[in-house]
Structure 1
């Protein structure tokens, strides 16, 4: 378990990352681009992950790679539910809880329905707010989170270049 200084530094980095990951738009085509980017990256890297992109309850992209199971889908649902409720990346929420010594149950959230494990990030559009979620499950939580962030950076850069 990281000490308080390490957690504080990680939380600060995650908060800065969250602030910079704002898109100018997010369409259904962008959801497909994001999902296929994640799937291609996972296949090329030999990762066993499940990938999910949702706008509210509407699933825009879903892919389960070899080596995953229905358990990954259950993790995705719990991570996504947390991000929809709190509006912040699941990894950031988990690190904040670890730092404060509190749990989701302390916040009145059923741990069977919510999980503060990394891998779900809100898709935020400038001037609009959170419009969707993108989630990866199958790796250690920091790696799930990093893969999603890498994909969002790639999408943001592609959208910016297309202008």
Structure 2
């Protein structure tokens, strides 16, 4: 991928991070978002594992038939990237690609604890900051990312939540 393409994708993701903010985030919100992601994955007939972490606690986790225990490891590692940097894991991957550097060497982290692949997105509460992460594993990294974005857009732009 060329630098211009990477920058365009990074700008798009940065806008998503800036605009997909919550006024507050409850466990019930996590359930609704998680179930929406499950339904979206069923519609495209692709098995995924979904995890929503809030303040260090897993408040939603579901692994569809056809997933493997390995997905849980990917979830932990992708989530760690978001929790450390407060950016989506896909943004951080592109950022380090653009800089042409090894994420693991630059940040002195282990690939056993961090995964630089798309599919983990910060839960950002207005006036508070990042309180957790929504992670999807099982598809190509861009598809994992897009399932989360689609769910957040539907949830946050629902007029009954205003």
Equivalent in the alignment of 1:148: 148
Question: What TM-score does the superposition give when structure 2 sets the normalisation length?
Answer: 0.95
Secondary structure of 1:115's match?
A: coil
Output aligned runs, 1:2-151, within 5 Å. 2-105=1-104, 106-151=106-151
1:42 to partner: Cα distance? 1.2
User: How many residues of Structure 1 are paired with residues of Structure 2 in the alignment?
Assistant: 161
Secondary structure of 2:157's match?
A: helix
User: What runs of 5+ residues in structure 1 fail to find an aligned partner?
Assistant: none
1:155 to partner: Cα distance? 1.5
Off by >3 Å, runs of 4+ in structure 1: none
| Cα distance in 1, alignment partners of residues 54 and 98 from structure 2 | 30
Question: What TM-score does the superposition give when structure 1 sets the normalisation length?
Answer: 0.94
Tell me, yes or no, if the aligned pair for 1:104 and 1:111 is still in contact at 8 Å.
Answer: no
